[in-house]
Amino acid sequence: MNTTRAEENYLKAIYRLTKTKKQVILPNLIAEKVQVNPASVVDMIKKLVRKELISYSRKEGAKLTDTGQRIALNIVRSHRLWEVFLVEKLEYSWSEIHVIAEQLEHIKHPDLVDKLDSFLDFPSFDPHGDPIPDKMGAYPISKKIFLSTLSIGAECKVISVSDDNTDFLNYLEKLGISIGTKIKILEKNAFDDSLSLQIEKKNIITVSRKFADSLYVI
């Protein structure tokens, strides 16, 4: 199946929305993810249905077909492998790699992704802690929990980040939080669900619920 860059971005968005939100995937949701007008999404949905990459109805929303799923998964795999490459080989920092990988993920050539995988020695997780599906599409197992689900006094280690937003990643860097950082929950504020955290037994910071919902820990 031949897919354009735009099509691939929509498929990826639908794939990721299916994984995170359990809701029905409707145009508005996709529009926000792809950063595009809802009317454009409706057009693209028609195109993807025509190409049998998704199914769509107002009731069921957009759902990937097997082919669509396969393509989306390959893009995700490619994206995450390139992120590993950028950090481990080119020495990019955590917060810069996403935008570059968004371009690299669309490079097409038989075996390219597999050769990259092999060159990187088959990593299981990308620098954000997200799992990298293998050649067959299988994900490595991992038991991630949200920082926001822990109770007061709990100590944990950051293993992943659920957000690709550059501002968020920059904010994390500024706070000195990255994969492996140890965090202790000091307080939970019932009023606005904000949390007080101690980072690496040193600085104490306060973060929002939204923040705590975007960090995976173990």
Residues that bind DNA (CB under 7 A): 4-7, 26-29, 34, 36-40, 42-45, 47, 58
Quick one: 28 or 206, whose CB is closer to DNA?
Answer: 28
In whole angstroms, the minimum distance from the beta carbon of 18 to DNA comes to 15
Q: Which does 45 bind (CB under 5 to 8 A by kind): a second copy, DNA, none?
A: DNA
Q: Which residues pair with 200 in a beta bridge?
A: none
Quick one: 11 or 84, whose CB is closer to DNA?
Answer: 11
Strands 204-207 vs 61-64: parallel, antiparallel or unpaired: unpaired
Q: What residues contact residue 156 under an 8 Å CB cut-off, 6+ apart?
A: 147, 150, 182, 183, 184, 185, 217, 218
Per-residue burial over 55-73, b = 16 or more CB atoms within 10 Å of its CB, e = otherwise: ebeeeebbebeeebbebbb
Check if the beta carbon of residue 164 is closer than 8 Å to that of residue 98: yes
Quick one: 126 or 183, whose CB is closer to a second copy?
Answer: 126
Q: What residues contact residue 75 under an 8 Å CB cut-off, 6+ apart?
A: 8, 11, 12, 15, 105, 106
Residue with tokens 């529009």: 31
Q: Which does 171 bind (CB under 5 to 8 A by kind): a second copy, DNA, none?
A: none
In whole angstroms, the minimum distance from the beta carbon of 9 to DNA comes to 7
Q: Which does 19 bind (CB under 5 to 8 A by kind): a second copy, DNA, none?
A: none
| Residues near a second copy, by CB under 8 A | 89-92, 96, 99-100, 103-104, 107-109, 112, 115-116, 119
Query: What secondary structure does DSSP assign to 51-81, as a single string?
Result: TTSEEEETTTEEEE-HHHHHHHHHHHHHHHH
Q: Which does 37 bind (CB under 5 to 8 A by kind): a second copy, DNA, none?
A: DNA
In whole angstroms, the minimum distance from the beta carbon of 140 to DNA comes to 32
Quick one: 3 or 95, whose CB is closer to DNA?
Answer: 3
Q: Which does 52 bind (CB under 5 to 8 A by kind): DNA, a second copy, none?
A: none
Q: Which residues pair with 206 in a beta bridge?
A: 196
Quick one: 27 or 127, whose CB is closer to DNA?
Answer: 27
Quick one: 119 or 146, whose CB is closer to a second copy?
Answer: 119
- CA dihedral sign, ordered 186, 190, 195, 196: negative
